[in-house]
Structures are given as structure tokens and as C-alpha cells.
Chain A
Amino acid sequence: GDSVTQMEGPVTLSEEAFLTINCTYTATGYPSLFWYVQYPGEGLQLLLKATKADDKGSNKGFEATYRKETTSFHLEKGSVQVSDSAVYFCALRAGNNRKLIWGLGTSLGVNP
């Protein structure tokens, strides 16, 4: 069945460091791919998305490129801030199915 695998956390970085959180997926057809973020005490917020191969989603300095050949959607940011400390979730929506299938989430802590 469809699934999402994320790198395990927690990840701890210093401010201004480069961030990569790996995400790979298994799905039939051509899924839409999402990154959601959950800040402490808050709900799940859409960070970025890509709906077809080679699309790049971007928001708030974060980027992820839909790579069909490697079935990946890795999240990157060139220079993290303390305010980026949160849990990041990779998710997919496959074909006509409307439900989201989730990765385990990766906790990111950024130290000043």
C-alpha cells in the first residue's frame, strides 16, 4: 500500500545551519506530496506542496522538489532559525483518494 518514510529525529541544529529532512514514498500512480509543520502547542499547518514530478514547493525559505525517479520529496532550508523549531511531517495524497498518508514526523530543534 501507499506509505511515507521520513528520517527519524530528533534533529538538533545551530542557528543558520543547513537543514535537510529526508522523505521517500511508495504510491501507485502520481501522488501529490506535502510537508506540514506543527509548532509547539499548535495544529498541523501546510508548509509546502508539489503535485507533479519535478515541481518544487517553497515557503518561508523551505523548499522540496518532487523527484519521481527517486520517489523522494526532501525538505531543505539554507539557514534555519530558532523559530523553525517544530515537528515536520511529510505526507502524500494518492490519485483520486482524498485521504493523506503520513510519515512519522521529524522533530527539529534549533539552538541560538
Chain B
Amino acid sequence: EPEVTQTPSHQVTQMGQEVILRCVPISNHLYFYWYRQILGQKVEFLVSFYNNEISEKSEIFDDQFSVERPDGSNFTLKIRSTKLEDSAMYFCASTFGGTGSQETQYFGPGTRLLVL
């Protein structure tokens, strides 16, 4: 069964450093998402991406964040200058984008980011 994959599974970085989180969505999916979950808090939507551009972003997704689909398979989240409060589990998701069963978002296993 097709699945969303994410790398790395864990990332430790120093405050102020740039990190890139990578995702490979399911191959025929058209919509891509990033969510994050700070320990003990709700899963939060960050951004959605369709047709090579951001379709929606949350207030969290400020100028420190960017997303890119550099080729036909990868979808990346870049944090330019990490802060302590960026420590969280980051989930990538994808969906075909239709209605009914096609709207289901499939999630990757997550990348746990720790900023020291």
C-alpha cells in the first residue's frame, strides 16, 4: 500500500540554525500539507500546497518557514532560523484532493525536531 514517508525521523539542531524536513507524498496525490504537534498540545495545521504554490497557511507559518516541491516526488519544509519553540513533531500529509474517499489525508510517521 502506498505511504507517505518522512526523513529524518529525528533531528536535533542548535537555535538559529536552518533545518529542512523532507517528505515524499503518495505519488498520485495533488495536495500536500505540513502539521506540527508540540508536546502535550493539539496537532496544528501549518500549510497546504497545491499546483506548486501555497493554498493556505496558518498564523504559525511566518517568514521563518517555507515549503517547496523541488522535484516530482519530494515536498520539503524549511525553517530558516530555528527557535526553541519550534521543537515539535512535524507531520507531512497528502491527499488526492477530491471528495469522498479521495479527500482522506494520509500522514507520514513524523519528524521529531528538537531545538537546543
Interaction A to B: yes
For A43, give its contact among B31, B42, B103, B110 (CB under 8 Å): B110
Decide if A97 is an interface residue (CB 8 Å cutoff).
yes
Interface size on A, residues (CB 8 A): 21
A51-B100, A89-B43 in contact; A99/B48 too (CB < 8 A)? Answer: yes
Bound Cα distance A100, B37 (Å): 13
A66-100 interface bits toward B, Cβ cutoff 8 Å, 1 = contact, 0 = none: 00000000000000000000000101010001111
B-side binding surface: helix, strand, loop or mixed?
A: strand
Q: Is the CB of B95 within 8 A of A103?
A: no
Binding site for A on B (CB under 8 A): 4, 6, 31, 33, 35, 41-45, 48, 55-56, 58, 91, 93, 95, 97, 100, 103-110
Binding site for B on A (CB under 8 A): 32, 36, 42-46, 49, 51, 89, 91, 93, 97-105
